[in-house]
Chain A
Amino acid sequence: MNSSDDNSTLPLGFLTVIEHPAHGLFGGYLVLSQSGRPIEFHCTAPMKSSRAQEILYGPTLKPFLYGEQIGGTLLAKAENAPSAVYTDQEAALAVRDRVSVPVALVLPTNENLAYIDSAAVESANESDTTAGYPRADAAHQGRPKLLTFQLGRNRLALAEEHDDDQPLIAERFGGLAESFDLMEPFGRIREAIAEAQQAVR
């Protein structure tokens, strides 16, 4: 990816993963200008993990797939380096280990509820339960601790081990924090992925 010293004009990256019950996972990465116009868009074909990976990765499977595999692949395809990458999937925060730009989770607020994929939220809440069996890994669950903070109209979270990204995000996004709803673009990505799926059929 290209880099730029002028962070005030750098575009914004938006990464999400959609889970389809029949086809598997679709990843989408949208790069927007600071006025919200699309610059580039990348989406994956559907993918599924193997049974071995499901067993062996256990609760760390999602971060592995969302963050490393899907997120890492999509961000590597992009031509424009963003000032930061925003995601609505906690598991995708794992991509931060593979890129040098801040990666933040956009959290629901009363204002942005309309843009949230409620099915994905339910799925995320259910995914870590295994009925009837004690979990030896309960203390970790494969999920990092999060540091949450408010930035303008947006509520964000960072993986705790990357908490030094917070001032960077505040500096690079602060000027847009009141006007730019960071949850809104994810709705566009979902529509775009659905459109791309239809085109394939």
Chain B
Amino acid sequence: MASDFRYFPEGDFSWRAPRPPSVLSIGTQVEVAVLDKPLGDVLEESTPAVVEGLDLRGQQPRAISISTGRDIPIRVRSFKFPQPNEKIVAAVAKKASTNTKRLDTSRGGTRIKPPSDIVKLEDRLGYILQPSLESLLKERSLEFPFHPFPFQFEGIAFLYPRHTAVLADEMGLGKTMQAITAIRLLLRRGEVQTVLLVCPKPLVSNWQREFALWAPEVPTTVIEGEQTKRIWQWQLPDAPVRIANYELLQRDREMFTRRDERGRPTVHFDLVVLDESQRIKNRSSTTSQVARSISRSRNWALTGTPVENSAEDLVGIFEFLSPGFLSPELKPRTMGRAVRDHVLRRTKDIVLEDMPPKLFRDAEMDLSPRQQETYDMAEGEGVLKLTDLGDSASIGHVLELVLRLKQICNFDPASGDSAKVERLEADIEEIARSGQKAIVFSQWVETLQKLDKRLKRFGPLQYHGKIPPKKRDDVITRFREDDDSHVILMSYGAGGVGLNLQFANYVFLFDRWWNPAVEDQAINRAHRIGVSGPVTVTRFLMLNTIEERIDLILREKRELFDIIFSDAKPHGKLGFTQEEIFGLFELKTPGRPIDVAA
């Protein structure tokens, strides 16, 4: 199109066409911009503008021909993204849920962010350009029985893109649901095809139930039964999710070392998830070794207690997730920084504003006179004996004394006197009057049996190792449904893992466990999502006894945990060292000077 560019010194402009073409020639009027200096000056400054045959200096041009040069060269980067494997999607979607709700996405979205170990730009963009997690989950028949909390969406978004992850939420925040939903999403999008879920044996049926609830369309296979059956189950071609317990993993360890004629593992999983992964914290244990031998592409660890006794526990977990990533020599703060992108931990008080609080009331008491007399005698004799043993005194000797003294703190062996029980009776009476329920934990079955007799009028039930496993579910059911049953007596071992007792608003720690992680686990039997009110936790503590000294060390262990998972400054001494155990009685450790707990 021929065009004309005119400049009138009086500032009067004329134009017609909407925009100039790249080459202007005499004859066509075009749109112009207002200039703040003579056109000649502007054109001299502008390159690659070319003025044909005209010297504009000092001139008043009437018409010129101007070329603006070639189009701007533009470099483009292009990325294509893989689409879901429709066969896998169809296979997983065979079972359709009928009693579910659709997610409400009106609240906006949780975005999936690529973890730092994904370095390829195309892979990172693949996550950044995904729709919100809520939209992904809403797609097609991905329905939910209950609406997840916002922090749970964040947990799912955390797990989904990661090949190495630890979900270390406090007990009761729904790690199971988050893991299952992330697995469900990965399966539906064809990013994984085979998943192995490993958990403690008592939790296998719990995981089956949770999968049926949160991912009803995902078929699950429980590895169990005779060896020939299990070998077949391990090698099933169309089993998206397999569930196995830790003990069985050891028995079938040979499956994970088998190779085909090309040298490839005969058993491989796209994703292995370890529940209660503190089970593999000891790197030299058989469990840990067997877990590490499983051929896998991704691995997650679920645990509410990633650090139970020392930072080495976390090293043990990461030895499975990413061998060599952590070293035992790392300081806690350095370790915390290293694992930051791979570990997600939330606590109830932070993520659930509406969550009723945990109320701690430490019941500090003096021993009854008879208890005091027995205690003093036992401690005196015990320390004397340890002193006599000298360098041949072992941890076992000290622990034997500690346990004996702790038992005296519970009950006087001869008379049965117990300051703790008197206090407990009073508290349970008040709880029963208000129609509520309580859980009482002890590390000894004998103690629980004694409490059963003392608390008879409150309808106590027992749940510990001596209760046959088949009857345990009935105990829980009765505790929940029987209005006359106000207290359940549990051992830390049997009652600590995997149970939901959120209808109990009171927890009593009759005697303390060696590490805070197990205590927290016990407390969280009641303080789970769904609890109807504040959970009151009472920790019994006998003053001027071994319990008080142990309590101090437990506080230090909590600080260790906080250091690794927060920015708090490090404390001086951490953990139950041999020195500290001997130091409970101000004894020298064999062959070394005292290093007493501060």
Contact = CB atoms under 8 A, between A and B. Distances in A.
Nearest to A55: B33
B36 interface: yes
B68 interface: yes
Contacts of A6: none
A147 to B, nearest CB: 18
B76 A44 contact: yes
A199 interface: yes
A95 to B, nearest CB: 13
Given A50-B46, A59-B33, A199-B121, A42 B129 contact: no
Interface stretch (A98-106, A119-127, A128-136, A165-173): A128-136
Nearest to A133: B34
Nearest to A39: B81
B2 to A, nearest CB: 16
Nearest to B39: A55
* Range of interface residues on B (Cβ < 8 Å): 35 or more
B76 A35 contact: no
Given A37-B81, A42-B78, A43-B77, 17 more contacts: A38-B81, A41-B79, A42-B79, A43-B76, A44-B75, A44-B77, A50-B47, A50-B72, A52-B47, A52-B66, A52-B68, A65-B72, A137-B13, A188-B129, A192-B128, A195-B121, A199-B121
B131 interface: yes
B72 A49 contact: yes
A81 interface: no
Contact of B121 (A74, A142, A196): A196
Given A56-B33, A79-B80, A137-B31, A191 B128 contact: yes
Contacts of B35: 55
B83 interface: yes
A195 B80 contact: no
A68 B312 CA distance: 61
Interface of B: 5, 13-15, 18-20, 24, 30-36, 42, 45-49, 66, 68-69, 71-72, 74-81, 83-84, 108-109, 121, 124-126, 128-132, 135, 139-140
Contacts of A47: 72, 74
Pick the 3 closest A-B CB pairs, nearest first: A58-B33, A36-B131, A60-B19
Interface string A99-118: 00000000000000010000
A130 B36 CA distance: 10
A70 B109 CA distance: 30
A162 B320 CA distance: 61
Contacts of B126: 38
Interface residues of A, number: 54
Contacts, number: 147
B68 A53 contact: yes
A148 interface: no
Nearest to A199: B121
Contacts of A38: 81, 125-126, 129-130
B83 to A, nearest CB: 7
A86 interface: no
Contacts of B14: 136
A77 B76 contact: yes
A30 B77 CA distance: 12
Contacts of A37: 81, 83-84, 130-131
A23 interface: no
Contacts of B79: 40-42
Nearest to B20: A56
B75 A45 contact: yes
B77 A55 contact: no
Nearest to A191: B128
A51 B45 contact: yes
A49 B49 CA distance: 13
Interface in A59-78: 59-60, 63-65, 69-70, 73-74, 77
Nearest to A35: B139
A140 B5 CA distance: 18
Given A55-B42, A77-B76, A140 B31 contact: yes
A57 interface: yes
A142 B34 contact: no
Interface string A152-178: 000000000000000000000000000
A114 B108 contact: yes
18 contacts: A35-B131, A37-B130, A38-B126, A38-B129, A41-B78, A41-B129, A45-B77, A50-B72, A51-B45, A52-B46, A52-B47, A52-B68, A53-B68, A65-B72, A77-B78, A130-B33, A185-B131, A188-B131
A51 B49 CA distance: 9
Contacts of A42: 76-79
B22 to A, nearest CB: 9
B18 A142 contact: yes
B34 A39 contact: no
